[in-house]
Amino acid sequence: MPSQKTVAVVTGASRGAGRGIATALGSHGCTVYVTGRSEREGDAEVSGTIHATAREVSEAGGTGIALRCDHARDAEVAALIDRVIAEQGRIDILVNNACWQGNALSAPGQFWEKSLEVATMLDVGARSGFVASWYAARHMVKQERGLILFTSSPGSMHYCMGPSYGGHKAAVDKMAFDMGVDFADAGAPVAAVSVWMGSLTTERLLGMMEAMPDLRKHLEGTLESAGYTGHVAWAMWNDPEMIARYNGRTVIGAEIGRAYGITDGEGRYPPSVRDSTGASPPQFFPYKVKM
């Protein structure tokens, strides 16, 4: 039977931003499909599983559904979207958050001195977000409403952990814009948007802060909760001007959240990464080459 709840898919939600976003959407009553590869503790370098996140979604007030999916495998992504449509009849919000992250990424050294494994971020990150959007978009266009959100950061505009990280973030910012152009050309009421998040209260970053006192001192008091972007996504989804305001744009989540009056614990607003980095979201141009 088709779901009457808002149906969301959050990729890469075993831990980190994905876990927080999924739980936040659950707090708004959404049915949330939680995807990732980690089914048991110890499956990854950092703790967290899709089943634990799904439980947190349900405990928050939504319906959490854990579904193992390797986003490096297109067939598994296709099966994921097919299952959502079969079970719910629609897909309203897709959060493209799946991204390879390993300790090698933050290891010291120049990019050629690090493991080539870091290049995986360009596959499970940029490409995987495109593939998930490719499968989901056709259903969103038919149902005449949808939101595709990419999790990003100002690392697309300033140096951060090397070219694999920066290339991934720059790619999703530009993909959101180009997808938005295609949606607009088709007259489809679907929005593609890339959201810059701040330094988040994720398991990985908190562990790094514990091990690196200088980093802890630098970031203390500036962190954004891992779930904040989920509340921002919910506000976007319920905004009747969603398409006009956000389609094709890269936005700073903290700034959008402040505009909606979304606080982040203890009544405070998270700081904008614009202030801490000096970076501003890119401005792309809708010029099209005539074919």
Q: For residue 138, what are the contacts with CB-CB under 8 A and spacing of at least 6?
A: none
Phi first, then psi, for residue 7 (nearest 5°) are -105, 120
CA–CA gap between residue 193 and residue 84 (Å, rounded): 22
Number of neighbours of residue 227 by Cβ within 10 angstroms: 24
260 annotated active-site? no
Selecting among 33, 135, 165, 246, the annotated active-site residue is 165
Secondary structure (3-state) at 59 = helix
Between helix 50-59 and helix 16-27 the angle, nearest 10°, is: 20
Q: Is 78 exposed, middle or buried (0-12, 13-18, 19+ CB in 10 A)?
A: middle
CA 218 to chain centre: 25
Annotated catalytic residues are 165
